[in-house]
Structure 1
């Protein structure tokens, strides 16, 4: 049979030999939001566990406003969301000028976005009405808001933390150890200092830090607590389907929005399986999920959870922006085997960037992994990854298998997670 999988901005058609018993593990289909602008206006008029957005603006009477938005690794429709927010802010507080309303583009420890990249995600009509800032986790001025009960230092971009009205825009996706993205994460990770991100993400070693889990997940609960300390007034989160179309638009209190949105997200991306597979063929889901190797790791991790121990997995990830993180690349290049990475990282303690080598290493230690990408073979080798021509690799694995292999095809690996029936 043949399958068509997203690969960067394009698609790859792959032929899977008839010998295989193939199951395609697709996200569910929900009806898309008919008119996102109207849906957002409705969500802002009736937010979850919050007064209406306009009432919040009147009550606060802000002199400064900060809106946290994701960088280009997250496919958020900012061209619709931001004009709706600005229209309501300006209708209640028309005195605010461009210097008073800041849109802060956060990507955690990702490289700060250059001006030309910012222009790709922030519409010109919005940029003309606001101050646009690219967050820098190393160099931006930070506000120190204290420690969470788990000891995470809450150091957040000062322009955001000191604003009178604080808004977070983002989306809710499954996350390999936070449970789900969304809620306060867009500020307390997206706009955080490196120390904050490292301490919070260091909680991932806890066995309860799992994809799809909110309750009793120490990483997620720490983020929620940090969000309360920051004092976020409003969160606007979307759930997107596998075609990047919104199926839910929510606004309100950070935890309430996260809880409601996670249930929608679970209904789309939580796929039931009746047993594990011998071979998995996975696509990250195309651009921007496979924009770089650093992002593609999420798809490898989640898709591998459908595999039998020692099974084989092929990941399609175009990676047009390369590896995506210098710390990860420099760290992983020091080792010859995944086992060396795992041993060293456990003795080192959590270090952001290097943690990707650890996460890759856990998968490489348990499964036979091949990568189809635009990355140079030598670069993949230094990342302890093996380059492969996809159809040839699939054919060889299936021909070498004794009996009939069970093959899973995962078209949206970065956002799909799996639940045993």
Structure 2
């Protein structure tokens, strides 16, 4: 962790520099170094050939008539171009017709990825030309199979029919801290990734969102994680390919195998590097929304506000940089933010606490309440219209440097925590 006056931050595609005042005493919080794999393709092939709690992919594919591979949507920088074609070619060589293989984008309730964006996401023209690539639509009732409620919390389980009915089911994704489910990847790509809106909106209700164990880097007693495990068990046999990336989006780890076991192996690998213990809290914290593609919208920006809360002093200032190049987010999220501005945090929370099904995307507004309870939230962005900036319900700052200087003066404390990668790093206060 180095001392510096000019610190590069992830912001959009190009990044920006945070120029600190002379008075600042910065503490840069970064992941522990994870060495880049010298041969990513060889590492991938090794993972496919020697899976965790499963036969090799070539054996798994034998005798199957169809397959469905889930991939994350554009908000996750997963290296799909690295692994999709080798996986598909292995399946095809084992006897599955290319016409019976579907790559399904696990959009959850996000918008679909289409056209040039879909090509960027898939990362391989051969895949687009040889197999079916489609988006999941959570609001299409006919596209889902009703698997009945989970046994513990009675979450309704609706899953995309294309995934449920495939004879070989594989989820792929990125394992990184997730501010509710503990860690992304694995079972999360299935639910909420290809779940119906009823399932997702139950996950996003206050019953789950306000649970103190539904936080980043925690799987023990986390109600979202536990429900996701129950859902994948309901579906049956599922495998997963899990990737771990460094700050430059290079592959540093890959696992393949049974969905729960292979995901936990990836979590075990990345936990110590991502969860960074700090001996103190800070009155000034500067973070990001992790740059492109996560900071395309204000909707996704909220994640960066929640992740560093453990090191923010009550009453302190959290400054987040997010480009918001695509704007605000969905109309439903905009409506929820408008209600937050109109009602205020306490009344807004009261209106959603009794719901068993959250309104679409209002959960992200509920998550924003968490940092607002702790301190002052400021946003630096080059996107958003004046009206959208008003609906953020946080203070917009025209300059990161000036915001840091003002915070140092306001709190009479020169210590500044700087988290260049935003929600990809989880600082934890340990005295």
CA deviations 1:221-279 (Å, max 9, x no partner) are: 11011011122431000011121111110000111112111122212211110010010
2: CA distance between counterparts of 1:182 and 1:119? 21
Displacement of 1:349 after TM fit?
5.2
- Residue in 2 aligned with 1:271? 276
- Residue in 1 aligned with 2:244? 239
Displacement of 1:357 after TM fit?
1.0
CA deviations 1:388-415 (Å, max 9, x no partner) are: 122221122223333x332100111121
Displacement of 1:300 after TM fit?
0.8
Whether contact under 8 Å (2:92, 2:98) holds in the other structure is no
* Residues 373-412 of structure 1 mapped to structure 2, 5 A cutoff: 373=381, 374-389=383-398, 390-402=400-412, 404-412=413-421
Residue 71 of structure 2 corresponds to residue 69 of structure 1: yes
- Residue in 2 aligned with 1:96? 97
- Residue in 2 aligned with 1:345? 352
1: CA distance between counterparts of 2:406 and 2:51? 54
Displacement of 1:350 after TM fit?
5.1
2: CA distance between counterparts of 1:262 and 1:107? 22
Residue 423 of structure 2 corresponds to residue 414 of structure 1: yes
1: CA distance between counterparts of 2:83 and 2:169? 15
2: CA distance between counterparts of 1:106 and 1:238? 16
Note the aligned Cα RMSD (angstroms).
1.6
1: CA distance between counterparts of 2:429 and 2:351? 33
Among candidates 372, 384, 391, match of residue 380 of structure 2 = 372
Residue 44 of structure 2 corresponds to residue 37 of structure 1: no
- Residue in 2 aligned with 1:170? 173
CA deviations 1:331-359 (Å, max 9, x no partner) are: 22023333332232224455141111111
Residue 160 of structure 2 corresponds to residue 152 of structure 1: no
Displacement of 1:4 after TM fit?
1.6
2: CA distance between counterparts of 1:350 and 1:152? 10
2: CA distance between counterparts of 1:284 and 1:260? 26
Once the two structures are overlaid, the 10-residue window that deviates more, 342-351 or 293-302, is 342-351
Residue 363 of structure 2 corresponds to residue 359 of structure 1: no
1: CA distance between counterparts of 2:336 and 2:304? 21
1: CA distance between counterparts of 2:357 and 2:162? 28
2: CA distance between counterparts of 1:246 and 1:266? 16
SS at match of 1:49: coil
Whether contact under 8 Å (1:316, 1:372) holds in the other structure is yes
* Residues 44-83 of structure 1 mapped to structure 2, 5 A cutoff: 44-58=48-62, 61-83=63-85
**Which ranges of structure 1 fall in alignment gaps of 5 or more residues?**
none
Whether contact under 8 Å (2:21, 2:401) holds in the other structure is no
How many correspondences in the alignment? 416
1: CA distance between counterparts of 2:203 and 2:162? 22
Whether contact under 8 Å (1:341, 1:361) holds in the other structure is no
SS at match of 2:316: strand
- Residue in 2 aligned with 1:198? 201
CA deviations 1:282-326 (Å, max 9, x no partner) are: 122211121111111111111233100010011000011111222
SS at match of 1:297: helix
1: CA distance between counterparts of 2:160 and 2:304? 29
**Which ranges of structure 2 fall in alignment gaps of 5 or more residues?**
none
Residue 139 of structure 2 corresponds to residue 138 of structure 1: yes
Whether contact under 8 Å (1:342, 1:362) holds in the other structure is no
Residue 13 of structure 2 corresponds to residue 3 of structure 1: no
2: CA distance between counterparts of 1:92 and 1:349? 45
SS at match of 2:9: strand
Give TM-score scaled by structure 1 length.
0.95
- Residue in 2 aligned with 1:300? 305
- Residue in 1 aligned with 2:106? 106
1: CA distance between counterparts of 2:29 and 2:326? 28
CA deviations 1:101-152 (Å, max 9, x no partner) are: 1110112000122233212212211111101111111126101122211211
Give TM-score scaled by structure 2 length.
0.93
SS at match of 1:128: helix
Runs of 4+ in 1 over 3 A off after TM superposition: 347-350
1: CA distance between counterparts of 2:238 and 2:354? 40
1: CA distance between counterparts of 2:6 and 2:231? 47
